[in-house]
């Protein structure tokens, strides 16, 4: 394997996610409504009107549950990865996409604090990626080399990489604000 699990310092914020931003809660709520009435720290089903757009299907290396357009976009991204970096594609896995819960923030002492807002996973528009069955450690300001390579493909398709969140989250990729607005304009949402 080509060092995909090597740990690198997280890249400078201005070298990734060019022109992309994490979607605002207000945008998510205006396009999709609220995924459910209440949230805890655990994954719960999407029960709001959005549930009619949630599908489960294979995106190539694994199955995903999420908003139909996002699941199809993810499948296209991973097909490009398969064509160009097949040995990276071989080790891709997922820790999930749709999951209605509060944001989880890993603290410097390793404990998890629940945020006040729902995670973007609640809308089924974000995916957590595993490499060779392993999750990149949340909040350590480092990332796997393989995720850095993968981020180029996600960024090119208009997905935001969580490495630049205030609490580093390199396993996390989500449909960016501008991409959501474009899909809405194109009538896909
Ligand atoms: Zn995530």
pLDDT at 109: 86
Q: Ligand 1 centroid vs 137 CA: distance in angstroms?
A: 12
Residue 8 has pLDDT above 70, yes or no: yes
pLDDT at 146: 98
pLDDT at 180: 97
pTM over 0.75: yes
pLDDT at 110: 82
Q: Ligand 1 centroid vs 169 CA: distance in angstroms?
A: 7
d(CA 81, CA 77) in angstroms, rounded, equals 6
Q: Ligand 1 centroid vs 119 CA: distance in angstroms?
A: 8
When pLDDT is cut at 50, 70 and 90, the band that residue 94 belongs to is very high
* Interacting residues of 123 by C-beta distance below 8 A, sequence separation 6+: 28, 32, 35, 46, 50, 67, 98
Model confidence over 14-66: pLDDT tens digits?
A: 999 999 999 999 999 999 999 999 999 999 999 999 999 999 999 999 999 99
Q: Ligand 1 centroid vs 82 CA: distance in angstroms?
A: 22
Model confidence over 98-145: pLDDT tens digits?
A: 999 999 888 888 888 898 899 999 999 999 999 999 999 999 999 999
pLDDT at 1: 53
Enter the tokens of residue 111.
């404990």
């Amino acid at each position: 394997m080509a060092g995909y699990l090597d740990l690198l310092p997280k890249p400078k914020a201005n070298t990734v996610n060019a022109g992309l931003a994490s979607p605002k809660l207000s945008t998510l709520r205006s396009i999709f409504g609220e995924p459910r009435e209440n949230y805890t720290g655990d994954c719960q089903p999407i029960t709001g009107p959005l549930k009619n757009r949630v599908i489960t299907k294979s995106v190539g290396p694994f199955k995903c549950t999420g908003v139909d357009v996002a699941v199809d976009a993810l499948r296209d991204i991973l097909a490009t990865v398969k064509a160009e970096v097949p040995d990276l594609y071989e080790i891709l896995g997922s820790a999930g996409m749709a999951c209605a819960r509060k944001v989880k923030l890993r603290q410097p002492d390793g404990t998890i604090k629940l945020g006040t807002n729902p995670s973007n996973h609640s809308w089924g528009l974000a995916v957590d990626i595993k490499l060779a069955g392993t999750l990149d450690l949340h909040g350590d300001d480092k990332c796997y080399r393989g995720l850095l390579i993968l981020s180029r493909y996600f960024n090119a398709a208009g997905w935001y990489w969580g490495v630049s969140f205030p609490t580093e989250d390199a396993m996390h990729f989500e449909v960016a604000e501008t991409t959501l607005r474009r899909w809405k304009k194109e009538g896909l949402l």
